[in-house]
Structure 1
């Protein structure tokens, strides 16, 4: 299923991979790849039937149509996934902390990608042709937050990753993807039309936290992603949707198996 919002078409392919296309043909992807979601090799946790999973079925997807790709942190960096979606003239915006040498997977170093690569810090603005402003911002788990261990250690410490707010299309519809983060107070201050909510919990904000953040942010539409791809990302998407809808905020689930 493809979700329509303003002049945008939004498709979730699994894990953190979302495709946003405007009516003028501009295409952006968030964190493409990993776990077989773009190669057709993904299977539901426990080997279940993909038709019964609250998750899109994986597809062998190599469109090479992206004008913009954003990468939030090491865990979501997949060089093959980027090469599957990026057009030859794509701009690939990657957080400066992403380090292929630190990743225990076979990935191409960021600077060796065959595209225009722009490295960003935690509070940068990048102008991308056809897209508009791409704004990075800190995204992390708080050491005294709900995803911290007793000693304050967290899966995503401050400085490890970012989220992105970017605009797409002729009317400049704003999109926010927080990456892997707690529901930080700063996010609630953003002016956002489309919120790609991370609801997986365990390593970042879960459904209840994301619903509370959605209410504070008050976007025009929320589409949850980054859940049920792996067992540790299990989430109740229907419960999240119900919670958000009760707060009179439009929500759409993209879990089509077609």
Structure 2
């Protein structure tokens, strides 16, 4: 767990981060790959420092943010969301396409959550938290294209989130390359995605950190699977060499 300004921050594995302010707790993209069920095991051949621990079932989140299909997990949401939680789910998330029913609408109705479906460029207030969505995608002319020219995350498939918690501006890019609209953001805490093969890699994320000049950078979404392998220590050294504070949260304490 790390502390930043008025916040406590904990990376729980994969894309799941818990951010708690004076009055509100926010989770990003909870679940998948066993990270909240206690079933996660290090992928073969990866020297990982990814968090691993017992099943997590806190149900204390006032706000849950979901960026795209790959990060939609109804069981993960149940494990983190308080009974009166608000879910902010990108409008493009399709539970059937993702293979993880029920839909956000059915889940919210069944569990009693409030649900906000958010567009690709939209501002809402959710659980008292100002939230802004931003496009998240792989540049088809960039370095993360498949041999056939396609990309894992085409434009329109997902979003990132900028939100203000306890007076602290936070940015979670989601699964995205570094994009031109990122440079205009005013960020205090950057949750950097450094996993490389399907989005920005550690070098690109370090450059983004230098451009944004946040008060703190904390990487998440790496080492969960072999295709997400990243050298977090090298990333931290790179960011620190650029004069930007950085921290790794790779344990459960």
Aligned residue for 1:67? Answer: 62
Measured after TM superposition, the shift of residue 152 of structure 1 is: 2.6
Aligned residue for 2:19? Answer: 20
Measured after TM superposition, the shift of residue 47 of structure 1 is: 8.3
What CA deviation, in whole Å up to 9, does each residue of 1:78-133 have, x standing for no partner?
000001100111110000000011113x43111111211100111111112332x1
* Contact 1:130–1:168 (8 Å) recurs in 2: no
1:29 equivalent to 2:27? Answer yes
Q: Aligned match of 2:40 in 14, 30, 42?
A: 42
TM-score, normalisation: structure 1: 0.93
Residue 101 of structure 1 aligns to a residue in which SS? Answer: helix
Measured after TM superposition, the shift of residue 53 of structure 1 is: 3.0
Aligned residue for 1:112? Answer: 106
Give, in whole Å, the separation in 1 of the partners of 2:140 and 2:147. 9
1:189 equivalent to 2:212? Answer no
Aligned CA distance change for structure 1 residues 193 and 71 (closer, same or farther; 3 Å): same
Measured after TM superposition, the shift of residue 57 of structure 1 is: 1.3
TM-score, normalisation: structure 2: 0.95
Aligned residue for 1:135? Answer: 132
- Structure 2 unaligned blocks of 5 or more: none
Measured after TM superposition, the shift of residue 244 of structure 1 is: 0.1
Residue 146 of structure 2 aligns to a residue in which SS? Answer: coil
Matches within 5 A, 1:78-157: 78-104=73-99, 106-113=100-107, 114=111, 115-131=113-129, 133-157=130-154
- Structure 1 unaligned blocks of 5 or more: none
Between the two proteins, the alignment pairs up a number of residues equal to: 249
Give, in whole Å, the separation in 2 of the partners of 1:212 and 1:203. 17
Aligned residue for 1:232? Answer: 227
Q: Aligned match of 2:212 in 211, 214, 217?
A: 217
Q: Which 4+ residue blocks in structure 1 deviate beyond 4 angstroms?
A: none
What CA deviation, in whole Å up to 9, does each residue of 1:59-94 have, x standing for no partner?
311111101100000000000000110011111000
